[in-house]
Amino acid sequence: MPESFKAILVSRDADKKQSVTVEEMTEADLMDGDVTVAVEATTINYKDGLAITGKAPVVRRWPLVPGIDFAGTVLSSDHPDWRKGDRVVLNGWGVGETHYGAFAGRARVNGDWLVPLPEGMSAHDAMAIGTAGYTAMLCVMALERHGITPDRGPVVVTGAAGGVGSVAVALLSGLGYHVVASTGRSAESGYLAELGAAEVIAREELSQPGKPLGKERWAGGVDTVGSATLANVLSMTAYGGAVAACGLAGGMDLPATVAPFILRGVSLLGVDSVMAPKKIRLEAWRRIGADLDPAKLAALSTTIGFDGIVEAAHAIVDGKVRGRIVVDM
């Protein structure tokens, strides 16, 4: 008999009512691909929470195994870049949205979607980073390309206690930036200070409707929230500054004016992690390995087992998760 493994399956009935079940699957149940991987660790991202709760249309194929990230070992490969025993990481590429994802003991994917697990990094640590941390690194790289260096002044991070925000705070502070962390959870001030935040401000300072231009408070920022928060961050960015935007936890709208762009020369830098070219992915993972303090990575992550995935998915959507969750498979 083929070896079986557990998988979380999201399904929808004729009335579009969603259900989530735990199923026993075999490799014969997996979707097409040229590399099969034993999933050793995965994680819970906000997008995974939306997929499992059905609170946003993340899942676009039914039924589906959710989970947009995994780290593990190649079991078999018909792809020229990979062979049995290779240690690999996957982030994005529609996995967990249109292609069976990480919340299963096995995954079969296109080998072009994989990158090597960085030397000396465990599967657990790679998923403590996950798409959230990889996205945070892409944001830092975007700010650097725009010339936002530590000597330019403070940088703000919104949604700072979340996954992307936590890693962004740790990375930026480690690189010498004065980090202003914005959070709706005042109880997390000590946690954010431990990660390297120099200042912690209340979410309400940025979430209310603001002026087209505010007082210049920072040279740049990483925004994970969108909507009025991003509009306010832009309005308070100093002349020639830049904001890297990568999230929409507060909404997809942007109630802003052109004032910051045409009166202060502010730049809005869009950051996409799902379809980013492999060259950029490799550089981001190299930089994470070099720039992220392992002690801070341990401080911002907690570990659960497979049986805790669904509960954690609901918690992250409800804003009850701090930092990163690693799932030990």
Q: Where does the pLDDT of residue 1 fall: very low under 50, low under 70, confident under 90, or very high at 90 and above?
A: low
Please give the DSSP secondary-structure letter assigned to residue 321: -
CATH number of the domain at 129-270, please? 3.40.50.720
The verdict on domain 4-117+300-328 having CATH code 1.10.3720.10 is: no
Q: Which of 131, 123, 108, 116 is nearest to 28 (CA)?
A: 108
How many CB atoms sit inside 10 A of residue 25's CB? 18
Rounded to whole angstroms, the Cα distance separating 14 from 34 reads: 33
Instruction: Give the 3-state secondary structure of 169-220.
Output: HHHHHHCCCCEEEEECCHHHHHHHHHHCCCEEEECHHHHCCCCCCCCCCEEE
Q: What is the pLDDT of residues 239-295, one digit of tens each?
A: 999 999 999 989 999 999 999 999 999 999 999 999 999 999 999 999 999 999 999
Using the predicted structure, report yes or no on whether residue 221 has a pLDDT greater than 90. yes
Mean pLDDT of the chain: 96
> What tokens were used for 140?
């830092």
Q: What is the pLDDT of residues 176-204, one digit of tens each?
A: 999 999 999 889 999 999 999 999 999 99
Q: Which of 30, 45, 163, 115 is nearest to 289 (CA)?
A: 115
Using the predicted structure, report yes or no on whether residue 45 has a pLDDT greater than 70. yes
Q: What is the pLDDT of residues 116-133, one digit of tens each?
A: 999 899 999 999 999 999
Q: What mean pLDDT comes out for the span 129-146? A: 96
Portions of the chain given CATH number 3.90.180.10: 4-117+300-328
Q: What is the pLDDT of residues 281-322, one digit of tens each?
A: 999 999 999 999 999 999 999 999 999 999 999 999 998 999
Using the predicted structure, report yes or no on whether residue 2 has a pLDDT greater than 90. no
Portions of the chain given CATH number 3.40.50.720: 129-270
Q: What is the pLDDT of residues 87-100, one digit of tens each?
A: 999 999 999 999 99
Rounded to whole angstroms, the Cα distance separating 293 from 290 reads: 8
